[in-house]
A and B are shown apart, each in its own frame.
Chain A
Amino acid sequence: MMNKRVEIRAPEHHTECTAVLSYWYVSVGQAVKAGEDLLDYETEKAVVTLEAPVDGILAEVLVAEDQAIHPSMLLGVIESTG
């Protein structure tokens, strides 16, 4: 059975303020479980931690740490193993 590719996208934010991806908690090829911390990004006032939506392997990192992100931007891909 083919593993499902689950896209990790930045959420819609209420303003168009600058946000920067600040930390990936896992590396490409590393396993992650649903609900575990996946990445941090920083806005002007807050740090937002996105959790992994599924069990799987982090297959791709499309935005490196310290790079700016915008709403709905594709940040990475998890290959689901669930």
Chain B
Amino acid sequence: MSPVLLEIEDLLQKSLSIVQPAGTVLLLAPDHPELECLLAERLAERGQLVVMHCPCSGPVHQAAGVERIQRLRGVYSDLRIDVDWLEKRLSVSPPVTYSDLCAFQAAREGQMRDSPLVPSDSVDLLIAVGILRRLPVEQRSGALMEFYRVLKKQGRLALIDFVSDESLSDHLLRHPDCPAGFQELELMEVLESAKFHGIEIGHLDQDPVASLEGVAFRRLLIQAHKGKEGMCLERYQGVIYLGPWKVVEDDDGHILKRGQRFAVCDKTFHIYKRPPYTGQFVYLEPATDVPLEQAKPWDVRHPAERLPCETKGTFFPQYEVGSSVASTGGIGYMGIVEWRTVNGEVTRRAKVLHRFKGCFEDGKEALETARRAFPDASSYQAVPLPFDEVLRRRQRVGRTVACPITPNRE
């Protein structure tokens, strides 16, 4: 086994521990057939190991004599594509004319839609080793979104790859000897954009293992989790972050202070109870359980603090205008519209806000909505609006929004 795989073996073992009985592990590791043996042995009878090979990504190295492995032929950047199905269709009726080609493409779209090779929400653990750099530059971010799609709600990604210390130029991104697909922080941001949460770097080489044109490359292993979507329901739960950091922020934008009794919705409460967050909190349960079917949507007027009287069930206060708000600290936008006289005197001014979210996620959307709504106005601007302010405005007029407000990651 290669040194890097020995180094990460322990981490892989931890990843495998989340695989439920009869769960599925999908392995994308064309250069490391030895991983197939390792995983098949560790999984034993507990789960199904599925290994995907991509015919576009060079020769297939396959571990010999390993049983209990299901093998698929697919495409790493789009796990819906069934290569065997496509090749069979091509062999039966290869396209000759343009209309043949159109029919073939329609059939391909149908296969991807109706019987994707790897269905959505079907994989407990996806292990991808050295995949990103094999993909065309334009498909690398999309591949991470695909990995997210196929994972089950509490599934996990273990990504082993190279990263660069500097942002890669277009020239280096396409260089055949460049081992990395992303710079370190850029890879984190792409994973965040793909909606992963609890992203952890389990291993990052202290020293570079390669360099090219002055750019240094290191190997890393990342574990990332799926499953922060869903309704925010109030069941009077809270958490206390134990430290050691004074303040931390999660992937939904919740900002927690060390030692603070922090109010969370039911969804966040249960996310914090699972890896990788276990051990970092004390969990505050209410004295009287609120059944899930009776839980109300999160009230935006609720302050960040979970009050002891709430967890004790003695008093549920009515929140006053001006109380602190459980904002994520991000920025939204509102449109500002002005009507002026010919002399430039402002006669009327209006703010335009998203009806349900309380703000627009980007300035362009705010501007376009304002223009469309009031084509007779004199001027339009998009103005940043902190989420704190959004929540205060909604609090003042008695409207609720979903908790938490998530920055523009959709």
List the B side residues contacting A23 at CB < 8 Å. 397-398
A12 touching B376 by the CB < 8 A rule? yes
Judge if B375 is at the interface, Cβ distance under 8 Å: yes
List the A side residues contacting B358 at CB < 8 Å. 47
Contact flags (1/0) for A22-58 with B, using CB distance below 8 Å? 1101000000000101001011111111110100000
Of the stretches B59-67, B88-96, B346-354, the one at the interface is B346-354
List the A side residues contacting B398 at CB < 8 Å. 23
Taking A11-B374, A12-B376 as contacts, is the C-beta distance between A50 and B397 under 8 angstroms?
no
The one of B347, B349, B373, B397 that contacts A46, using a Cβ cutoff of 8 Å: B373
Judge if B14 is at the interface, Cβ distance under 8 Å: no
Cα A45 to Cα B346 with chains together (Å) = 26
Contact flags (1/0) for B4-36 with A, using CB distance below 8 Å? 000000000000000000000000000000000
B351 touching A48 by the CB < 8 A rule? yes
Taking A40-B397, A46-B369 as contacts, is the C-beta distance between A53 and B348 under 8 angstroms?
yes
Q: On chain B, which size bracket covers the interface? A: 20 to 34
The one of B347, B348, B354, B376 that contacts A45, using a Cβ cutoff of 8 Å: B354
Q: On chain A, which size bracket covers the interface? A: 20 to 34
Closest to A14 in B: B375
Judge if A4 is at the interface, Cβ distance under 8 Å: no
List the B side residues contacting A14 at CB < 8 Å. 372-375
Judge if A13 is at the interface, Cβ distance under 8 Å: yes
The one of B348, B351, B353 that contacts A11, using a Cβ cutoff of 8 Å: B348
The one of A13, A25, A49, A50 that contacts B353, using a Cβ cutoff of 8 Å: A49
The one of B353, B355, B397 that contacts A44, using a Cβ cutoff of 8 Å: B355
Cα A42 to Cα B398 with chains together (Å) = 14
The one of B349, B373, B377, B397 that contacts A51, using a Cβ cutoff of 8 Å: B349
Can you list 17 contacts pairing A with B, beta carbon distance less than 8 Å? A11-B374, A11-B376, A12-B376, A13-B374, A22-B397, A23-B397, A23-B398, A35-B349, A43-B355, A44-B355, A46-B353, A47-B358, A49-B351, A50-B348, A51-B348, A51-B349, A53-B346
* Residues of B bordering A, CB below 8 Å: 337, 339, 346-355, 358, 369, 372-377, 396-398
